[in-house]
A and B are shown apart, each in its own frame.
Chain A
Amino acid sequence: MKAQIVIVAQHTSGQVDPVTYEVIACAQELGRKQNFASIVVVLGKKTRGLAQEIADTCGLEIIGIENEALEMYNAEAYRAALGEALMQLHPAYIVLPHTSMGYDLAAPLSIDLKAACITSVEAILTTDHAVSFQRSLFSGKIIAQIVPCKTPAVLTIQPGAWRAEKEKVTHTVEICITQMHLKPTSTKTICMKPSEHEGLDLNQADVIIAAGKGIGNEENLSLIFELAKIFPNSAVGSSRTVCDQGWLGYQHQIGSTGKTVAPKLYVAVGISGAIQHITGMKDSQVIVAINKDPNASIFSVAEYCIVEDLEAFIPALLDEYRQLKSGQK
């Protein structure tokens, strides 16, 4: 098998993670632009089922690498196995998702392969002689174009930046499964366990009022709760920063390391719109954002954008609401 682009699949408990298909879509775009072929590498204890699923969904050639030590993600084992496979494949690009697996693995792989490393890529730009990769800085307020100065280049792909393309696969796809010998790792993955953040079912709510660091202090949470009260079946959510400050428990956190929600209405109050937050709420039906910074990234996903200081705006909103209510009586 020969391919210039190697995609590293991500999977958990026997299921291919959807983000893998986003990475594949990115690789396909890169392949079309540079006339490169792609191949998917799946690592695990058993990879046949995973490989077949990916093959049936995208029609790319697959390499399965198997070893007991690859049963759960382990940086050392993954790095050793991939390193060996990549030495033989000699790709120009290695693409991974920008997830806790991808960013854990990308930088060390780049050292092993003497490669460039560009993380959280959101778009590919090509000119006659160069390919550059677009990524965000400053929570999305600035866009940078980064050019690898070395081949190969290891890329991690920002989840949500590409849409998974599912094609009807009609041709038979080559799947090659190998057992790889690996040295025992010194770092041992013991188990997975859930973070203890249960107790609040944000997914049942029709309306979520989410507080960000912009609320400034814990006392201002009362504004958020008051606002939530005017909506039927509502709940209070938050950015991670609010939980880190101890203003709310982690059961309220929305985003890539918190909950994913899609209520009828999502009101983001004092939230900047970091990609890790947006990942968890972008599929909400209606998004309202209240932020004093007109350049805040949250506005790019909101349907109704309000540039105001929340300490003034929310009381005004509550006032207007009360007037409206009393007028109706």
Chain B
Amino acid sequence: MKILVCVKQISDTDDIVRIDASRAWIEYHEKTSFRMNRYDEYALEEALRIREKYPETSIDAISLGPARAVSTIRKALEMGADNGIHLLAEQNSFISPSEIATLIATVAKPKGYSLILAGVMAEDDMFCQTGQLVAAMLGLPCATSVIYQERFENGKTLYVEREIEGGQRECLHIDLPAVLTIQSGINRPRYPSLSNVLRARKQEILRLNIKDLRQPEPCECLACLSYPQTQLKGEFIQGSLENKARTLLRVLHQKALL
């Protein structure tokens, strides 16, 4: 079975995010640290676990992004993916989910994957679209927010549990080939083993410039970015550490909460 895992590189969520001068996208600086989208880590780990169970499986990891995205593909190889594919977008600019999905689907189509995995969403742009779009473009069934999956003996069908609101799960049977978007908590992603780190260091990553692929037609465009005008409901407590602690205890006491 051939599995494709979509991995996105994102800037670390604790970092300060700045809008660029034209208000068109995010400006990153030398100190920005980048890492794999957490939900994609869970997706990759799930693929690795499938391969442990069915050793004939091979896993490709694909990422669309600027040159720096290579490090995230490398991380996927270190975790254990067999091959890396980099769809190079030269500029650091907004690319809509439909464009990203078109490019991934274009590359995935001739490869005949049995299973395509992605994270349920990207932590940065939070669209929750890419996996579903790839599925629809390739005419494959899709289940989102998957928190459990298991292949039936026949090798053709998956039993899948989707996490829905209100503490419920939706259980379904879905035929392969299929696309699943993976929810966090489905597994515990591993740390790379030394042997995989060494292997990944030397391994070639297939690079395709998105300029050379079929140009997707944008369905949505980003008009501009801004910072939220946070209407503070409350107040920032000021002063030294001790003062803040004292003030907080005082107000909680006054409100009879303590």
Contacts and interface: CB of A to CB of B under 8 A. Distances in A.
Contact of B98 (A117, A138, A189, A240): A117
A89 to B, nearest CB: 20
A192 B169 contact: yes
B218 A149 contact: yes
Nearest to A190: B171
B174 interface: yes
A136 interface: yes
A299 B235 CA distance: 9
Contacts of B67: none
What is the interface residue range for chain A against chain B? 35 or more
Interface in B51-84: none
A107 B131 CA distance: 9
Nearest to B141: A187
Nearest to A207: B257
Contact of B249 (A99, A197, A320): A320
Contacts of B128: 98, 103, 119-120
Interface string B8-44: 0000011011010000001000000000001000000
B234 A150 contact: no
Interface in B193-252: 218-228, 230-237, 241-242, 244-246, 248-249, 251-252
A218 to B, nearest CB: 13
A193 B168 contact: yes
B203 to A, nearest CB: 29
Given A112-B136, A142-B17, A304 B248 contact: yes
Interface of A is mostly: mixed
A142 B19 contact: yes
A252 interface: no
A107 B133 contact: yes
A132 B225 CA distance: 12
A258 B38 CA distance: 19
B120 to A, nearest CB: 8
A320 B237 CA distance: 16
Interface in A92-116: 98-101, 103-104, 106-108, 110-112, 115-116
Contacts of B245: 313, 316-317, 319-320
B46 interface: no
Contacts of A256: 165
B119 interface: no
Given A75-B142, A108-B136, 16 more contacts: A103-B132, A104-B145, A108-B142, A111-B136, A116-B220, A135-B126, A138-B26, A142-B26, A144-B222, A186-B141, A193-B161, A197-B167, A286-B257, A313-B241, A316-B245, A324-B249
